[in-house]
Every structure is written in structure tokens, then in C-alpha cells.
Amino acid sequence: MSSPLPASVPAPSSSPSPAPSPSPSPTSPQVPSPGGTYERTARTTPTRYRDRASYDRELVHAILDDGYLCHLGFVRDGAPVVLPTLYGRVGERLYVHGSTGSAPLRAAGEAAEGIPVCVTVTHVDGLVLARSAFNHSVNYRCVVVHGTARRVTDPEELTTALDALVDQAVPGRAADSRPGSPKELAATAVLRVDLAEVSAKVRTGGPGDDPEDLALPYWTGVIPVTTVRGTPVPADDLAPGTPLPGYLTPR
């Protein structure tokens, strides 16, 4: 992960925003013009620290594009279930990976109207140590998406979605690997969730100590947390002389 809030990304804002433009067609998703905002709803309005919330599209996209692992929440047999899985963003849509045998995929496939879900993506950027245990905190960036998940059935959109899932984790890899076979595609399922009811939340900076604690002798500050990809390790059966792809070269 990069810095907690890139300079090119606008600061969070909690003010109401106009409604987003209509969703693109399933097979031709488009990225909206920079500077747009998502509409604030009751579900996307936080109950605490509202000043950290933002509905800015550019910020939401930046947070989503900085990761590849999400948590998918849904209700199964009357009880909440949250599953970790991979995702990819294409324009104003999230594609969530699954298996044809997984519960949410079966439910989404059986229900013509889809299933209600909540998708979250979180990055931890720092551990915030205050003088008091109560005021310890975490610097983070997160996105919460409320919506309806529908199974992708259109072959063209499914190809786009699977490529997005691969490239979200390793940019450039989709074009540098064998496409899925009919048998593999039959065993793979993808959920689509439109980015319509969305919010971001960000915390940056140091601890907020109480004035009466400032004279205490305890160390205080921030421990940065970053995710770093290591040097690629070749498979045991990799053919000798196979070069490392440029997209895997450390930058």
C-alpha cells in the first residue's frame, strides 16, 4: 500500500452529494468523470466520526484499486455470513470471485433479483499509539458498498470480470496467462455489485491525547504499516531460461 492518502486524492468530506450518473451497461462499464460523488444515504452515513467519511468517487476508486481482497457480507438461513474473497473493479462495478458451489453464488443465481450484500475493503496504514490506552487508534482507508449482487452470465462480461479479478491482484497478468477452458469457466462464478450506494472513511495523523495526559512520560506517535511484495520465487517446474515478466519487476 502507498501513503495513507495520496496527494492526488481529495481529502474526505462529509457533506451531502448529488446522485451519480446512471449505471453503464453490463458489457461496457465506464469510469465516470473525475470529481464526481456518490449520493449519501442512511446506510452510508456513519454514526461516529462523520468527518472522516467521504463520497468522492476518485477517493473510493483509489482505495478499491489499492487492494484485491474484500469481505462479502450476506444473510444465509437468517444469519449473517461474512466471507473473504477476491474482487476486481471495472468502472462503476465490482466483480467478486466465487465458486459455483458457494452459498452466495447459488443464492444469487437462484434469485432473479439478486441478493442484498455488503462489501468492504480496508487498508491499515498505521498503528496510532497515544499516552492513554483509550486514545490508541489506527490509521486506515476503507470503502463500504451496499447493494445487490447478481451473478454474471453474459459471456463477454464474464471474460471482462475474470480478467479484472486477475489484474486487480497482479496488473498485467491476465494477458500473460492461459485463458480459462470451458470446463474451468463452468466451475467459476462471479458476482457483480454496482457501485451506487458507497462511502469511504479515512483516518490519518497522530494520536489525540487528552490535555491532562500530555505531561505523561509514555512514548506516543505512529507506527507505519505497509504491504510490500517480495521478490518472485519461480516454481520448481519452471522451464529454465523463462524470463521474469516486466510487470513483476520491482519498481
Residues 130-143 have pLDDT tens digits of 999 999 999 999 99
Write b or e for each residue in 233-249: b if 16 or more Cβ atoms lie within 10 A of its Cβ, otherwise e. Answer: eeeeeeeeeeeeeeeee
pLDDT band at 101 (very low <50, low <70, confident <90, very high): low
- CATH no. of 50-224: 2.30.110.10
> H-helix or E-strand containing 98?
strand 93-99
- Confidence class of residue 103 from pLDDT cuts 50, 70 and 90? low
Can you give the pLDDT at residue 185? 85
Per-residue pLDDT tens digits for 190-215:
999 999 999 999 999 999 999 999 99
Assign 113 a pLDDT band (cuts: 50, 70, 90): confident
- pLDDT confidence of residue 104: 62
pLDDT band at 7 (very low <50, low <70, confident <90, very high): very low
Q: Which is more confidently placed, 84 or 103? A: 84
Provide the residue ranges of all domains of the chain, joining segments of one domain with +: 50-224
Q: Is the pLDDT of residue 67 over 50?
A: yes
Calculate the average pLDDT of the chain: 85
Model pLDDT, residue 19? 38
For residue 63, report the phi and psi dihedrals to the nearest 5 degrees.
-65, -45
* Portion of the chain with pLDDT greater than 70, in percent: 80
- pTM metric for this prediction: 0.81
